[in-house]
Chain A
Amino acid sequence: QKEVEQNSGPLSVPEGAIASLNCTYSDRVSQSFFWYRQYSGKSPELIMSIYSNGDKEDGRFTAQLNKASQYVSLLIRDSQPSDSATYLCAVSGGYNKLIFGAGTRLAVHP
């Protein structure tokens, strides 16, 4: 069974620090990778997508992909209290389906 693993957290970081969120996946043929942010009681919101090995930057967010090691990570620079949320990693599971990890809860404290 295809799996996506994330540390549930909470990951606690001070305001202004870099938050590093990690995700590993089991299916070697996965080609597309996504990070969603979910505030408590709200719907998941797409932050980043990445398809090639290496880094992809968008503002304060950087996604990193290493297909050989089967992991994808999300870095959040200059973390703000408004970044406090659960971050879901999603991996393509074939047939236009996504497989989601259980999420990592991030807490940014002032």
Chain B
Amino acid sequence: DADVTQTPRNRITKTGKRIMLECSQTKGHDRMYWYRQDPGLGLRLIYYSFDVKDINKGEISDGYSVSRQAQAKFSLSLESAIPNQTALYFCATSGNLAGEFEETQYFGPGTRLLVL
């Protein structure tokens, strides 16, 4: 089974709708991240969390919110979706487990979102 999972894998929604993207991990990592990827722009950090009680904005947090429901779960919400939020969204995790370097990030399979 995959260590980092994301649901849904694909989503089409309309402008103004609220949607939630979910991420779960079984790696035992304490740190979780949400990125979006647009063609030619690379990965841009939306939000990150180092602990259930620690949530931080990334470089492009406007229009997004997150919830860290448990150490293993980190959800991203678009309160009122707009077309320029059409992108590929990735969840990632990192941790300080034995044998790992804590800055190494491991990615989920991604969610392809289309806002009409």
Contact = CB atoms under 8 A, between A and B. Distances in A.
Given A43-B110, A46-B104, A101 B31 contact: no
Contacts of B105: 34, 46, 90, 98
Interface string B70-114: 000000000000000000101000100000011111111110100
Interface residues on A, range: 20 to 34
B58 to A, nearest CB: 8
B43 interface: yes
B48 A8 contact: no
A42 interface: yes
Among A41, A88, A100, A103, residue most surrounded by chain B Cβ atoms (within 10 Å): A100
A40 B94 CA distance: 23
Contact of A103 (B42, B45, B102, B112): B42
B50 interface: yes
Nearest to B101: A49
Contacts, number: 51
A96 B108 contact: no
Interface size class of B (residues with CB under 8 A): 20 to 34
Contacts of A95: 56
A44 B110 CA distance: 10
B43 A34 contact: no
A96 B42 contact: no
A45 B31 CA distance: 18
Nearest to A91: B103
A1 B86 CA distance: 25
Interface string A29-48: 00010100000011111100
Residue from B40, B56, B94, B103 having most chain A Cβ neighbours under 10 A? B103
Contacts of A60: none
Interface of B: 31, 33, 40-45, 48, 50, 56, 58, 88, 90, 94, 101-110, 112
Interface of A: 8, 32, 34, 41-46, 49, 51, 88, 90, 92, 95-98, 100-103
